[in-house]
Homo-oligomer: A and B are copies of this chain.
Amino acid sequence: MYEKQLPALRKCGLFTGLTDQQILDLIPCFGVRISQYARQETVVMAGDEQTMFGVVIEGQVQVQKEDYSGDRLILGIFGPGEVFGEVPVFSGLTSWPNSVIATQNSEVMFIPHHKISEPCCRVCHSHRLLIANMLRIVAQKALAMNGRLNYLKLRGMREKLAAFLFDQSRLAGSHTFMITMNREQLADYLNVSRPSMSRELGRMRDEGVIDFFRSSFTIKDMGALRGMR
């Protein structure tokens, strides 16, 4: 039981420091729910009651904030082994503040939050480790949000793009790299309009600062890019 999910769970920060057997012992104790979702299907709607957080087993989900007007801001994209929804549930909220949709056919495991924050007799020795792991995960998530502010606080299109491309390049460790988002997703991520972004990307190419084709980007003048952050 749950052997199918083990590869994803092994990668999950929540189980850092635990053996395969310890993980397999814990899961039945959690009372998890496992669900499948088709591409584009809604995983949770903002406002739904929340008692569990999610772990992506297979596929990919996208957490997004939406207005009434349909404007949306992508908060995060999560793949196998990654956790979502833990911030609100450990904050004491009882409903999901954001929506989650599947960007691919996906499988998600939902874990009741009280199984983490309250003691469980059967596996007490693992429990302290679980809490410490969760503390680290939540802190890192908060930090990632902090990083998002780095882009959103920038006022100009060039500055946002330069900062984003600079970070991506540093992350990839190369001047040439691929991005996982398409143009529309990137625009939502940076909170700008897609046409304006494409226009500016074109200008930066004309000026010889960058080159790109589809999702492949190359930084041709790192100095100029750094300067316009």
Q: Out of B88, B89, B119, B135, which one reaches A138, CB within 8 Å?
A: B135
Q: Which of A65, A131, A139, A149 has most B Cβ within 10 Å?
A: A139
Instruction: Quickly give the copy total for this chain.
Output: 2
Residue A191, interface by CB 8 Å = yes
Classify the secondary structure of A's interface with B: helix
| Residues A87 and B153 in contact, CB atoms below 8 Å apart | no
Which B residues are CB-close (under 8 A) to A131? 128, 131-132, 135
Residue A92, interface by CB 8 Å = yes
Contact-residue bracket for chain A: 35 or more
Given contacts A65-B150, A152-B152, A139 and B90 within 8 Å (CB-CB): yes
The A93-127 residues at the B interface (CB cut-off 8 A) are 93, 97-98, 117, 119
Residue A75, interface by CB 8 Å = yes
Stretch at the interface among A36-44, A140-148, A212-220: A140-148
Residue A9, interface by CB 8 Å = no
Residues of A that sit less than 8 Å from B by CB: 65, 71, 73, 75, 86-93, 97-98, 117, 119, 128, 131-132, 134-136, 138-143, 145-146, 148-150, 152-153, 155, 191
